[in-house]
Structure 1
Amino acid sequence: MDIVLVPGLWLNAASWDDVTPHLEQAGHRAHPLTLPGMESPRADRDGITLDDHVDAVVAALDAADAPVLLVGHSVGSGIAHAALDRRPDRVARAVHVGGFPSEDGQPLLAGLEAKDGEVAMPDWKAIGEEANVADLDDDALARLYAHAIPVPEPVITTPVRLTDERRYTVPVTSVCPEYTAADLRGWVEEGHLPELAAIRDVTYVDLPGGHWPQLTQPEALARVVLEAADLT
């Protein structure tokens, strides 16, 4: 089947380079995406909006052979979910890796400092998010920061718009890397993730490590994605 891979913030299609061979060896067609303005740190991001990123995922869904397995990493899960809302009939299952869908009217991510209309990757340790980089050694962490691409501020601050309640009928696999499946279930039960709570069929999968399993344990992540494909 066609597997569309949506990167998280500060990343592009290259972040899936070590995952896609495993998917293709299993007979699937992998489509890692580079969203508008995220081609490189030097790319022109002026005027890029959340709709531009969602539209890019929708275009990939339209170009693929349905039904599609739609995979998002981190905040890319929210972008993927917004695209699914526009094309629920083309997605067989969604996989959220270390991320969650935002609800209608809420931004993808708030609270990060912007400069000149862009948001650079923060220093995770400095802001107390050590779990994000728990499985990256010093060299790997340096590479992550060196290749990080600033995100257009409107992508993460513009409220998400969701209109098609059929999105709740598309099954989801929630992959839990720097937190556990028990943690995520607890957040859902406490009412912190209402959009995820409304989805009728959610499978929770533990993948212990840091926030970037496509970089640190790509084969293990590929196995989880392949298991999700087998459920479609």
Structure 2
Amino acid sequence: MDTTRSARIILVPGFWLGAWAWDEVAAILREQGRDVTALTLPGLEPEHPARGEVSLEDHVGAIEAAIGAGEGPVLLVAHSGAAIPATVALDRNIDRIPRTVWVDTAPVVDGSAMDASFEGDEMPLDALWEEELGQGSMRDLTDEQLAQFRRRAVPEPAGAVRDRPSLTDDRRLDVPATIVCTAYSADDYRSYAEQGASFLAGVLEHRALTMIDLPTGHWPMWSKPAELAAIIADEADAAAR
């Protein structure tokens, strides 16, 4: 395989996570000779002094900086809540991003915040830990992985939770997008979207969407890193064709 003909890969972690969340997946891809950048978005540094001042636009800017830091096509990979800034970055960089991957999430629609009514400066993981466990999102994680997640998780800046994205370039709807369906199946994704789940509205809007089932919990970068890396590698190769 000639990885010089593969797209650069940018990995964007979801809420509470830094670049470290992608360590296993990134290592597999780099062993194949691929150009991989894993991001820690602003405010997700453990010692950030003012998370309440971090905005969605700051997150978008960090993704755009990574896109502009190299040459050639980019495969943009977003997990969970990172779908919001990733969709905005795609909207503004259509000509640089020929393909996208959405890990247990989906591209969002214009104006769709995670929670526009959220109050406070930050959202800590501990506030939702029991709910996440009860809903099964932690499926297939070992006790060690759960402990590391809880220890390393950083409160999510409120701006990333409540700011509304502004999308202006409808060409993004024709950029091939692959949703890796983990906590829910592809059939469930379509069903929930049709039932009006706001965060999945992009499933109905997007015109070049593929869904791949990878049954596990919401954190496949830890529970199934090899399988997820294989999907990303295939998409990176396709993005360069």
Q: TM-score, normalised by structure 2?
A: 0.88
Which amino acid in 2 is paired with 1:120?
Answer: P
- Work out whether 1:151 is the aligned partner of 2:156: yes
193-202 vs 155-164, greater mean Cα deviation: 193-202
- Contact kept, 8 Å, 2:52 with 2:158, in 1: the verdict is no
- Please report how far the alpha carbon of residue 152 of structure 1 lies from its aligned counterpart in structure 2 after TM superposition: 1.0
The match for 2:55 among 49, 59, 73 is 49
Asked if 2 retains the 8 angstrom alpha-carbon contact of 1:77 and 1:99, the reply is yes
Distance (whole Å) between structure 2 residues aligned to residue 18 and residue 137 of structure 1: 15
Q: Percent identity?
A: 39
| Residue 166, structure 1, aligned to residue 166, structure 2 | no
Identify which of 119, 133, 145 aligns with 2:123. Answer: 119
* Residue in 1 that maps onto 2:87: 81
Shift of the alpha carbon at 1:181? 1.1
1:218 CA displacement? 1.0
Counting only pairs closer than 5 Å after superposition, residues 1-232 of structure 1 correspond to structure 2 as 1-40=7-46, 42-44=47-49, 45-109=51-115, 115=120, 117-121=121-125, 122-126=127-131, 129-192=134-197, 193-232=200-239
Counterpart amino acid of residue 180 in structure 2: V
Secondary structure, in 3 states, of the residue corresponding to 1:205? strand
- The answer to which of 217-226 and 127-136 deviates more is 127-136
Secondary structure of 1:18 counterpart = helix
Distance 1:174 1:204 in 2: 5
- CA shift at 1:197, angstroms? 1.8
Shift of 1:201: 1.1
Q: How many Å separate the matches in 2 of 1:188 and 1:158?
A: 22
Tell me by how many angstroms 1:185 deviates: 2.1
Residue-pair matches, total:
229
Q: Tell me, in whole angstroms, the C-alpha distance in 2 between the residues paired with 1:32 and 1:53.
A: 13
Give structure 1 stretches of 5+ with no counterpart.
Answer: none
Offset, 1:190 = 3.7
**2: CA distance, partners of 1:190 / 1:20:** 35
- Name whichever of 170-179 and 184-193 sits farther off: 184-193
Query: How many angstroms does 1:99 deviate by?
Result: 1.1
Which region of structure 1 is more displaced relative to structure 2, 91-100 or 183-192?
A: 183-192
Shift of 1:82: 1.2
Q: In 1, are the aligned partners of 2:9 and 2:35 still within 8 Å (CA)?
A: yes
Task: Determine the C-alpha separation between the residues in 2 that align with 1:109 and 1:64.
Answer: 33
Instruction: Measure, in 2, the Cα distance between the counterparts of 1:186 and 1:123.
Output: 25
- Contact 1:77–1:96 under 8 Å retained in 2: yes
What is the deviation of 1:131?
A: 1.6
User: Shift in Å at residue 195 of structure 1?
Assistant: 2.1
Q: Is the 8 A contact 1:66 1:91 kept in 2?
A: no
Q: Distance in 2 between matches of 1:119 and 1:191?
A: 25
Unaligned runs of 5+ in 2: 1-6
Query: Which residue pairs with 2:3 in the alignment?
Result: none
Question: 1:3 is paired with a residue of what secondary structure?
Answer: strand
RMSD across aligned positions (CA): 1.8
> 1:62: Cα distance to partner?
1.5
Asked whether the equivalents of residues 7 and 73 of structure 1 are also in contact (C-alpha less than 8 Å), the reply is: yes
